[in-house]
Amino acid sequence: MFVFVCAGCGAELTDPLSHVPLPAHAHQMYGNGTQLPVLMESGTFAVEPEPWGPPWRTWEEIGPEEAAARGVHALSDGAPGAIVIAPGDVRGTLLIPEKRGGACCGLAQGDGPNMACETCGLLVATRIDDCSLWQAVWLAPDAVHRLPVDDAGTDAVPLSWEKLMEEDRGTPPFEPITPWGERLGSHRHWSWSPQWEAAAGQALAHLLAASEGQPVTVPNGLVEEVFQPALDALLPAGPRERRAVLAGPGLPAPDAGADILLVPVHPQTGRTWTPAGPATSAYPVPLTFGVWRWMAFPQPPLPVPTSGRVADDVLDDLFSPRAPHPFQVDRGTFRRTLVRLPAVRGPWLREIVDNLAQRPVTGGF
């Protein structure tokens, strides 16, 4: 457990927090005018290892080599190592509301830090809560220091895979989406989960790298619905198909004929589940645990009442209708992940990156 303190005066700025992996949807922009919830669970923090936030450098300023290594359109020239936490875990700060960052409904990061240390006035963080963005506070890495909490009793031991499977039932694929400015739960519509779209974008990049330019097939059901249209749209037809299967805790050991394994990432440690036996040579594709858990062990729908009438607002809470449109991966997350994989240097995969901006929003996108 750690607390973050002001680099200027040493004042504590956060509650005690535990380190967890950066969520796949950390930089996601979802929809238009959508009200998204808080990004991080209370009591946790994550670190963005790459530069993030303003100032930005444009494509023309970057050059092809740096662009290929770090991005495709514009790069952050900010300091690497930004720390993201839940807004409710902040202490001892003052908000500067006039630094809205070009946001239309709330606050964004376009103007740089908009939170100052209450004690000394140093700009220490950026609050983000604009529409279509995940609500979060990003601590500036050059304005804060991380200190361990001097209490061994507060250190939490990461759950084992077995215990995690017992306690976490996964992330449902569909959820109600609320427009900005509406009371949560009112005027909402059901859609694919934004977390699923971001996690699929991240995993799809790894699937492409694992494909070696050959067609890839995935298991039937939700996995097929999420990945197969995009794979078919991006990969050319070929003489040999590479087979991807789900693998992980609670599932039978994957057979030796599997070329690619869709495996979970531990939500507390960030470690990827590793198989034993013949499947160890297969390419592991990391998948956010909550999404993997639901794909591997889908939860049955709640029972329908046998008599009587249920109020509409209660009915929405009881039942999760399917989204009215096909699944689409989050293009931004997919692209950010893909351009950072070593395999992108290959000509066939680089062509996909170059053509992605011109690709119409079809076939899983």
Q: What is the pLDDT of residues 88-99, one digit of tens each?
A: 999 999 999 888
| 184's tokens | 């949560």
Tell whether the model's pLDDT for residue 328 goes beyond 50.
yes
Q: Assess whether pLDDT exceeds 70 at residue 304.
A: no
More confident of the two residues 126 and 54? 126
- Residue 317 binned pLDDT confidence (cut-offs 50, 70, 90): very low
pLDDT at position 345: 79
240 band by pLDDT with thresholds 50, 70 and 90: confident
Residues 6+ apart with CB under 8 A from 196: 171, 173, 226, 291, 327
CA dihedral sign of residues 304, 309, 311, 312: positive
Q: Which residue has the tokens 């293009």?
A: 331
- As a whole number of angstroms, the distance between CA 268 and CA 25 comes to 16
Q: What are 169-188's pLDDT values in tens digits?
A: 899 999 888 776 665 555 56
**Residue 173: both structure tokens together:** 């694929």
**pTM exceeding the 0.95 threshold for the entire prediction:** no
With the C-alpha atoms ordered 260, 261, 267, 268, is the resulting torsion angle positive or negative? negative
Are the C-beta atoms of residues 337 and 206 closer than 8 Å to each other? yes
Q: What is the mean pLDDT of residues 253-257?
A: 83
pLDDT surpassing 80 at residue 312: no
pLDDT of residue 115 exceeding 90: yes
- In terms of residues, how long is the chain? 365
C-alpha 229: how far from chain center: 21
Question: What is the rounded distance in angstroms from the CA atom of residue 101 to the CA atom of residue 8?
Answer: 24
Of residues 341 and 119, more confidence is placed in: 119
pLDDT band (50, 70, 90) for residue 342? confident
In whole angstroms, give the CA distance from residue 355 to residue 342: 18
- Rounding to the nearest 10 degrees, give the CA dihedral for residues 148, 153, 158, 164: -140
Residue 59 has pLDDT above 60, yes or no: no
Q: Cite the beta strand spans of the chain per DSSP E.
A: 2-6, 18-19, 34-35, 44-51, 56-58, 74-76, 80-85, 93-95, 115-117, 123-128, 136-139, 144-148, 174-179, 189-192, 216-217, 242-246, 260-265, 283-288
176 contacts 188 by C-beta, under 8 angstroms: yes
- Give 200's Cβ-side CA count (13 Å radius): 28
**Mean pLDDT comparison of 55-64, 102-111, 158-167, 293-302, highest-scoring range:** 158-167
Check: CB of residue 131 under 8 Å from CB of residue 35: yes
Please, what is the average pLDDT of the chain? 84
Say what the pLDDT of residue 77 is. Answer: 57
**Other beta carbons less than 10 A from residue 82's beta carbon:** 26
Q: What is the pLDDT of residue 70?
A: 47
**pLDDT at site 190:** 83
pLDDT of the residue at 244 = 95
What pLDDT does 276 receive?
A: 78
Distance CA 258, CA 273 (A): 16
Distance in angstroms between the alpha carbons of the first and the last residue of the chain: 39
Report H helices in the chain: 59-62, 64-70, 161-167, 194-211, 222-234, 289-296, 312-318, 331-338, 347-356
Res. 60 pLDDT band, cuts 50 70 90? low
Percent pLDDT > 70 in the chain is 78
